[in-house]
Structure 1
């Protein structure tokens, strides 16, 4: 049976949405990996599957391109919200994820804002393999770690051009300190309201952008006293805005666009 999908992107951070409301969930780890193959499948950084939900507009399950599951994806959440808002002709929806209930709104400029929840800093919340101060990890470069529902490790560097992301990224992603692996960010601070961010994404590699990584990078920068509460995050593919008051929920605001729709054989 063919599987219908919608391909979208957020500043080049591409994802696929499968709408399985009112039907059985057809996506398994193997199917996600097959769809994520950029040569033989559709290709994406993440896959979002929409399911029926009693206490929200939809439940969303997320997959990486390597077939591993994740609890949240900021870009695909914005894409799912955009799709559901257009379908119902509304300006806000609530999505149930493994991260919790995420409230999404369309802004006056057409961007999608997502309440990404409260960041977590406990070593067991990230998680780390041992009890450590997550503000300064005992790794070369002294990165910081946090969880936005998935693990994040942030390096602050003077010049992104000098960073070999393709070498350092996978080494840190799979470091024994991170039992569930980790996303890895490299941040160059332009000023207190503007950063350049390059990303090695867990299960996907170098990414043009990432919503949750943008959130994690800003949160760790604010913890270090380097950033203000509203920050423009300039990724390789474009910019998003992250807001955090240092206590409550993190808000992610940025655009999403539809690329194309299609069908793929499940066989």
Structure 2
């Protein structure tokens, strides 16, 4: 079956988008997702995005997200901005993490990411502990903050994020038994009260040029510790995101998204 796709990215975090809102597609398996995401033998991406009809009147359509290893995840901030751009108008997008809303902004696309989950069992962690400063460490990375913004994150504040061997430590932390659903790993450096530098090891995807939920989680962690103001610029290797945390506890994220190209592929070659 010949299938259309759109290739998009948010600050270099790239996606293959399949649109099944009007024409149904075969089920997406973990094997299919991983094969299509392979950068040598597939199209190549950090995440595969599947658009489907919404399950209720609360949303305009549904978005499902598959990491490069084929695992399905709850949320992706960069993908949400990309789909907001693709949709071309304000949208209510149903995800496993809840309904997210998007609209055009001066920075590109703005997303209401909802309220963060800060309780240990909502991250989730394997057992109870203070999520503002977990009493654990992996070599020089110690006492992280844990935040769930639709998917789980730990955030380490370090003097120089570029000096951390994240490609080595990331998978160790991601797969630690403390995190029953695995974890996204963020290493951040506070430049001033309005600016954070950030690198992210994304569960199921590895090092990424940008991670929207990671930027949100890191900003919330910095704000909870009193390190920054309530609106910050998060600088990732792929570019900048603007993150705010309002008095209503809802997170807003704004930044660019880009359509790269469109094409077709033969579904059965990857099934």
TM norm structure 1: 0.95
Question: Take 1:47 and 1:253, find their aligned partners in 2: how far apart are those partners?
Answer: 21
Distance 1:57 1:11 in 2: 25
Query: What TM-score, normalized to structure 2?
Result: 0.93
1:77 positional shift: 0.8
CA contact (8 A) 1:243 1:251 kept: yes
Q: Structure 2: 5+ residue runs without aligned partners?
A: none
- Aligned equivalent of 1:154: 155
Aligned counterparts of 1:174 and 1:254: Cα–Cα separation in 2: 30
Deviations 1:155-198 (A, max 9, x none): 00001232111111111101110011000000011001101000
Distance in 2 (alpha carbons) for counterparts of 1:96 and 1:245: 22
Name the counterpart of 2:87: 84
| Alpha-carbon distance in 1 for matches of 2:229, 2:68 | 34
User: Partner residue of 1:120?
Assistant: 117
Q: Which moved more, 1:144-153 or 1:40-49?
A: 40-49
| 1:208-219 to 2 correspondences below 5 Å | 208-219=209-220
State the superposition RMSD in angstroms: 1.2
Query: How many residues end up aligned between the 2 structures?
Result: 261
Would you say 1:226 and 2:222 are equivalent positions? no
Aligned to 1:129: 126
Contact 1:229 1:246 in 2 (8 A): no
State the Cα distance separating 1:128 from its structure 2 match: 0.4
Structure 1: which 5+ residue stretches go unaligned? none
2:97 counterpart (92, 96, 99): 99
Q: CA deviation at 1:249?
A: 1.0
Distance 1:166 1:255 in 2: 26
**Distance in 2 (alpha carbons) for counterparts of 1:125 and 1:111:** 31
- Pairwise CA distance, 1:247: 4.8
Report matched runs for 1:158-237 at 5 Å.
158-237=159-238
Note the C-alpha offset of 1:93.
1.1
